[in-house]
Structure 1
């Protein structure tokens, strides 16, 4: 089993006005909240323990998770971004390789967390789920990474980070800032040649704006 961190602390600014009174992870797509969809992927992949961080309208997140076997890593003051948020949650997750998942995406096809677990090797420090830019529904902008023939990633290419990964958290201790993105770790691992990518063999939609919700629902029902 792998520990799983679900990032649910964001402000959801791109989703306004829907997020004026509701945190983005609790918005519904196809009759189910984004957070519940993420939790379902984790359960199906056998992830444990599971932690969810919270900040914006965090009490709603806590109320929604009440009674479930999910730990909450609250960030009541300054939002810590993905790197700082993961480091704060490590006491709930352990020091081994950790899965992380962004809830504001929708997947079809194989469970990405299970696929990552199957593809993980001991020589990897990070394994990121990727989707080709041309297949990234509702994505705006360019790609994030390129893949070489051995599966190693580098910056600037035609693949989009899909919001799921396995990562070793050891290098978090080398970053002095309290607030920082996991991009900092990726860059360190890319320089070491220990960051890899796995192409998701299914559909994917970035649910980052209100107009993406019907696109995600079409993908799910297609």
Structure 2
């Protein structure tokens, strides 16, 4: 009986936690590093992109329309578990994720007011938090320890899944990974739309930092791939 009650408490807590996320006007979910809100505005933003994408994984674009996730500058990790190397930022159909915001209500009420090059929004595989740089330019010397195998995963996502305005860095595919490529972005039968990205400082056993297998074919616009191994 005690075990059952404890399980019920955990279940209720998990449901209430997930249901707390709420898009604001225009189906926009706001993310700002260090915040602890429910995502309805910059003042009440979620603190982690991984939290927003986890909630958005059940999004139904056919009935709910397109969901936008606006992300303010800062460094984001795909998990808080420093041992979970399989963790990635999983792209979702019908969800458009935009980085490069300052996170200011007064100046950023429109997508076109962001500056993704100035306001660096970093998606990093540095889950054990010990790399020698925020943005990796020399993966041979700056990646330390055990990072995520792939920072972003676009597998099974379609063109309605969009990632736009980010630096993707610190992914590390090694001999322990089931996949042999794609430290930055991995696509298995994925066709996401990728725009305004810098993919830098990732390590893969084969190929470069973007890997497409099983008919994976993302649409790339203004994607810069540099300093990967």
> Greater helix share, 1 or 2?
1
Instruction: Report the TM-score, using the length of structure 1 for normalisation.
Output: 0.25
Which one has a bigger Cα radius of gyration?
2
TM-score, normalised by the number of residues in structure 2: 0.24
